[in-house]
Each structure stands twice: as C-alpha cells, then as structure tokens.
Amino acid sequence: MTEPKIQIYENAEKVVEALAEDFFQFCGKKEKAGEKISLALSGGSTPKALFQYLAENFEQKINWKNIHFFWVDERCVKPDDPESNYGAAKHLLLDPVAVPAENVHRMKGESDPEQEAIRYETEVLSAVSLKYNLPRFDWIWLGMGEDGHTASVFPDQLALMHSERICETAVHPVTKQKRITLTGKALNHARRATFLVTGKSKAEMARLVLKEPELRHKYPASHIRLSEGELEWYLDKAAAGLL
Ligand code: 6PG
C-alpha cells in the first residue's frame, strides 16, 4: 500500500477548484476510453461547496450521463430531510446537471436500516464493476470528522472497517442517529479515494491520521489504505496546519 498523496491549497475554495478540475480531466479520459464512471459521494458540509462549484462551472463540460452516483454513507432519514446526504447532492448537483435517474444509486435512508444495508450491498454488487468479486469504485470522495470518522465508520465502531460485508448499519456515537455505511471492504477496494478536508478544526486529527503511525489506528480515516488504488488528501492550509 502506497502512502497517500497530500495536496495542500491556500483555502477551501482552492481545494474545491482543484478537485473539480481533476474530476473534469478524469471524466474526459474515461469518456474517451468509452468507460462509465462509478463515483461514491460522502455527505456532511465539506462536499457541498464542491457539488455547487461543479454544477455552476462544469454542467456543460462534463458528460454527466456517463457517471453513476453512489454514496459512502447515509443518515437514516427521508430523502427530503435536511440531514440527507442524497438530498444535499440532489439539490446541489444531480438536479442542476440533470443526472439521469437510472444513474443515481442512493441509499434509502427512509427504509429499515438493516434491510437497506442488505439491499444496497446487492445494488452495489450489480451496478459497480467487480474485481475479486468485490465492487471497485472508480473514485470515492471522503470526508473526515474531527473524531477521525469517515463515511459513517466512527471510532467506537472500527470493526466496520474490517467487516466481511460491503454495507452495514452504524450509529452516530453522540446523536445516536442511525446510519448506513459502506465498510472498509468496499472503501479500500476503490481505484481512487480522495479525502476532502478543510478547516482548522480538522488540523489535529489530520496530523494524527497522517503523521502519527503509533496512534492513528484508533481513527477510522487512517484505515482507508487502498489495496490497489490511489489514495490522496486534498487539504486547505488551515486543515494542514499541523502537518
Ligand atoms: C456524513 C459524512 C461524513 C463526513 C464527515 C465530515 O454523512 O456526515 O459522510 O463521513 O464526511 O462527517 O463532515 P463535514 O464535511 O461536515 O466536516
């Protein structure tokens, strides 16, 4: 497993612009090769600026019909709930760039969590290309919480990083909100994974995960170590301040 590639930008806007440009280049290469793209999104606040920037600046430049959208996790709420990761992506990106409904593979937060985890695993296995019988996402965009969680794998549920399943249920340790999340089995099998981390509040956890080999095992974000893929961190100077 190679070490992550770390890219540091002046501010959050520059991080978003850089990732958007990289995504544009990536989409062009895949389209030229006649290949569809499987992209798994994170939720939370950080990606919202990226979704908005892509919709505003790349609506005409990217062939959105060539991209299939998945989620790394979802809150167990209805899709029109302000907490919904799918709802945010739909509002900020999927609708503005007219992604076809058949390209949207959402986790159904409104369903029974355990049944949905089983259903989603089946959907991912049928919709994402496989390698060694495991889904191999072309790209996953990840965030990291101040506690070092990623997707909805929280520090007190680290076993999800080593699950035999592809999709499981989880519980937010503070709010007790039920979640559905991809597990390490799916996340670490991606061709490419990018952490999008900005803001001073993430600086200490970024340091622990990236610079403290003796301590980092406690934090789920450090368990994202692609077996055969490219792992990268896009940070702004504030989040990278302690590296
Ligand atoms: C979620 C996300 C989660 C997120 C981190 C960071 O459902 O909340 O998928 O893993 O990426 O919590 O969230 P922020 O971007 O809001 O800091």
Counting atoms of ligand 1 from 1, which one is nearest the CA of 45?
16
**Closest residue to atom 2 of ligand 1, CA basis:** 43
Specify the pLDDT at position 1: 59
Question: Is the CB–ligand 1 distance for residue 151 below 6 Å?
Answer: yes
Nearest alpha-carbon partner for 222 in 167, 158, 138, 134: 158
How does residue 79 score in pLDDT terms, banded at 50, 70 and 90?
very high
**Closest residue to atom 8 of ligand 1, CA basis:** 44
Asked whether residue 48 carries a pLDDT value surpassing 80, the answer given is: yes
Question: Is the CB–ligand 1 distance for residue 42 below 6 Å?
Answer: yes
Cα 112 to ligand 1 centre (Å): 22
**Closest residue to atom 10 of ligand 1, CA basis:** 151
Query: How many C-beta atoms surround the C-beta of residue 213 within 10 A?
Result: 8
Question: Is the CB–ligand 1 distance for residue 109 below 6 Å?
Answer: no
Question: Is the CB–ligand 1 distance for residue 43 below 6 Å?
Answer: yes
Threshold 0.95, pTM exceeds: yes
How does residue 110 score in pLDDT terms, banded at 50, 70 and 90?
very high
Mapped to the 3 state alphabet, what secondary structure does 196-212 carry? EECCHHHHHHHHHHHHC
Question: Is the CB–ligand 1 distance for residue 46 below 6 Å?
Answer: yes
- The H or E element containing residue 48 is helix 46-58
Model pLDDT for residues 137-188, shown as the tens digit of each residue: 999 999 999 999 999 999 999 999 999 999 999 999 999 999 999 999 999 9
Please state, in angstroms and rounded to a whole number, the distance separating the CA atoms of residues 182 and 202.
22
**Closest residue to atom 11 of ligand 1, CA basis:** 143
How does residue 32 score in pLDDT terms, banded at 50, 70 and 90?
very high
Question: Is the CB–ligand 1 distance for residue 169 below 6 Å?
Answer: no
Question: Is the CB–ligand 1 distance for residue 150 below 6 Å?
Answer: yes
Specify the pLDDT at position 156: 98
Asked whether residue 227 carries a pLDDT value surpassing 90, the answer given is: no
Please state, in angstroms and rounded to a whole number, the distance separating the CA atoms of residues 203 and 154.
18
Count CA atoms closer than 13 A to 200's CA, side-chain side: 0
User: Which has more pLDDT, 1 or 177?
Assistant: 177
Nearest alpha-carbon partner for 69 in 36, 109, 38: 38
